[in-house]
Amino acid sequence: MNRVSFLYEHVPFIFARPLTAPARAATHKPALPRIVVLGLGNLQWGDAGFGMHAIERLKAGWQCASHVEFVAGGTQGLALLPLLESAQRMLVFNSADFGCAPGTLCVREGDEVVRHLHTRPVNLHQMDFADALACAQLKGHYPRELVLIGVQPLAHDAYGTGLGAAVSAQLDPAVEIACRRLRRWHAHPRPLVQPLV
């Protein structure tokens, strides 16, 4: 009996089993980091409403990937803590005192944001948001990337006046800066198609 016959007779299962390629390991795409774009401010108090106008301008003209959320945070302050804890990246629109000429657009990042909001507050909601950021840091649930896009206000306490001309002129530039950052974060911002009238 030759070797091949012996194998067929005594270990037939070797030849009966189909020869298949090794099963591919299941591929699980990692969850995309949650990105929050947040607008802060009070629409009723002059230039203090800049952040709210900016987030509305962004929402009206742009859309992003599904892991990006646009939030009009208003003056909620500490109530925004759960949002801060859930975001891996956060971009914030707000009016802030940068010590510049009114209407100047400025960008701050990382720890500079908390430090700036605490040391140069222009209103109560800004202080409350700074406290929420500090609390999130203490709890260890904090955006790993945080960016503030702010404008120097002229009148942040003029009730019912809306944005001044110098601040209003910075809405589109602020949205452009936000979109550039969102592209860096692979959020894929793209213009909304406006319906034909």
Instruction: Write out pLDDT tens, residues 154-184.
Output: 866 666 678 999 999 999 999 999 999 999 9
Helix (H, G, I), strand (E, B) or coil at 117: helix
Residue 73: the pLDDT is 92
Q: In this structure, how many other beta carbons lie within 10 angstroms of the beta carbon of residue 105?
A: 19
Q: Where do the structural domains in the chain lie, given as residue ranges? A: 35-186
Separation CA 157–CA 45 (nearest Å): 5
> Which of 78-85's residues contact partners 24+ apart within 8 Å by CB, and which partners?
78/128, 78/131, 78/132, 78/135, 79/132, 80/38, 80/129, 80/132, 81/132, 81/135, 81/136, 83/36, 83/38, 84/132, 84/133, 84/136, 84/141, 84/142, 84/143, 85/136, 85/139, 85/141, 85/142
Residue 8: the pLDDT is 46
Residue 7: the pLDDT is 44
In which residue ranges of the chain is pLDDT below 70?
1-30, 118-127, 155-160, 194-197
Q: What CATH number labels 35-186?
A: 3.40.50.1450
Residue 117: the pLDDT is 76
Residue 15: the pLDDT is 44
Separation CA 132–CA 76 (nearest Å): 10
Residue 194: the pLDDT is 64
